[in-house]
A and B are shown apart, each in its own frame.
Chain A
Amino acid sequence: MTFGLYAETPSSLSVNKVYVYNITVQVVRTRYIHTSSRQLVARRATGPIVNMSRTGTKLDAKKVNSELFTLTYGSLVAQLLQDYENVEDVNKQLERMGYNIGIRLIEDFLARTGSGRCYDFRDTAEKIQSGFKIFLGITPSITNWSPAGDEFSLCFETNPLTEFVELPDNYSSLKYCNVLPGVLRGACEMVQMEVACWFVQDQLKNDNVTELRVKFVKRLEDAIPAGED
């Protein structure tokens, strides 16, 4: 299956550039194959709506069907698996891509919510939770606080990234959703917070829930202006 994504870049007015990314979709064994078309229609009607946050000049967010997002992400992972062969490298690349998304996405989050800096890490946890609501249309639960209050878990009952996905046995070490830790790390870094993020449970690996652990590492200092040489 092949489809193209068209994105108009607003960088220049004089030349109206259109970039075409051709993405070949070979999602790691999608469940589409086993799903009848009637089920698909039912799914489409009830599926969560993912906000891909391309708003143009209007402020209200344009909603995108989560299936398109799911499949695009699936094709990205499949492409990476083809390019790198080594699963560890794919995990690393996904994290890096997430980081690059995160450092931009935080601006969108801040502009939308108008929230200030966090008072404490519990505040951060709630803001991250609301971020998932805004961008993925899901509300993960915040659980398993460490006694020191510097670690917590986000538990996902449903995850739009992993719909229609099954991991083949030989990819058991693949962290399919590894962009999410990257996004969190990048976003938090932009608000002067270093966090570490990893998966402890994964529904794709037959756990009941997907659990993402977030650990506060340190507070980054504000940049001081460069002195006169």
Chain B
Amino acid sequence: MTIHNLYIFSKTGTLLYYAEWNRLNKSGITKEEEAKLMYGMLFSIKSFVSKISPLDSKEGFMCYKTSKYTLHYFETPSGLKFVLNTDNASQNARELLQQLYREVYLEYVVKNPLCRLNEPIQSELFKIKVDELFKKSPLFLSRSL
């Protein structure tokens, strides 16, 4: 099992944080462009899912899967968006994202008055804690693909 990379978006679509661990394929565009592309796609999928759904769904879009990787999506009611790419064998990645929100984002961004909301996160402590959380997760087993 492998974790590839992580995006955190604010409710207005600003890329708050990006981190990668095992990423072999580079997109070939700048990080900013990639983030815009990613956010645009997520936004489209979300509205597509809610329009096309035959039932009234509460959660909406949760993940998609290709032959090589799975994208897990977790959005809080306040509009924060956590996006995690893992391989297809990874289970419970959503729980990991919720844990990231609860134990890292809340503690080291929201409760840090010097971290402005809706701006890219600069805090070193936040970076360290994100890294710690993912590396101790059972999903994180770095092996070359």
**Cβ of B112 under 8 Å from chain A:** yes
**Which chain B residues (74-120) contact chain A, with CB distance < 8 Å?**
76-80, 98, 101-103, 105-108, 110-115, 117
Secondary structure of the A side of the interface? loop
**Cβ of B136 under 8 Å from chain A:** no
Among candidates B39, B40, B98, B113, residue contacting A9 with C-beta atoms closer than 8 Å: B113
In the bound complex, do residue B124 and residue A225 qualify as a contact, i.e. CB atoms below 8 Å apart? Answer: no
In the bound complex, do residue B107 and residue A110 qualify as a contact, i.e. CB atoms below 8 Å apart? Answer: no
In the bound complex, do residue A13 and residue B124 qualify as a contact, i.e. CB atoms below 8 Å apart? Answer: yes
**Cβ of B52 under 8 Å from chain A:** no
Interface residues of A (CB under 8 A from B): 9-14, 53-57, 59, 103-104, 106-108, 110-112, 114-117, 190-192, 222-226
In the bound complex, do residue A190 and residue B58 qualify as a contact, i.e. CB atoms below 8 Å apart? Answer: no
A223 to B80, CA, bound (A): 11
A107 to B111, CA, bound (A): 10
A148 to B58, CA, bound (A): 25
In the bound complex, do residue A57 and residue B117 qualify as a contact, i.e. CB atoms below 8 Å apart? Answer: no
A103 to B115, CA, bound (A): 13
Given A54-B111, A103-B117, A116-B58, A192:B124 Cβ within 8 A: no
A35 to B101, CA, bound (A): 45
Residues of chain B within 8 A (CB-CB) of A115 are 77
A150 to B46, CA, bound (A): 29
Q: Which of A11, A14, A116 has the most CB of B within 10 A?
A: A11
Residues of chain A within 8 A (CB-CB) of B112 are 9-11
Given A108-B110, A116-B58, A225-B43, A12:B76 Cβ within 8 A: no
In the bound complex, do residue B79 and residue A111 qualify as a contact, i.e. CB atoms below 8 Å apart? Answer: no
Residues of chain A within 8 A (CB-CB) of B39 are 225
In the bound complex, do residue B106 and residue A111 qualify as a contact, i.e. CB atoms below 8 Å apart? Answer: yes
A117 to B101, CA, bound (A): 16
A54 to B, closest residue via Cβ: B111
In the bound complex, do residue B78 and residue A55 qualify as a contact, i.e. CB atoms below 8 Å apart? Answer: no
Residues of chain B within 8 A (CB-CB) of A55 are 107
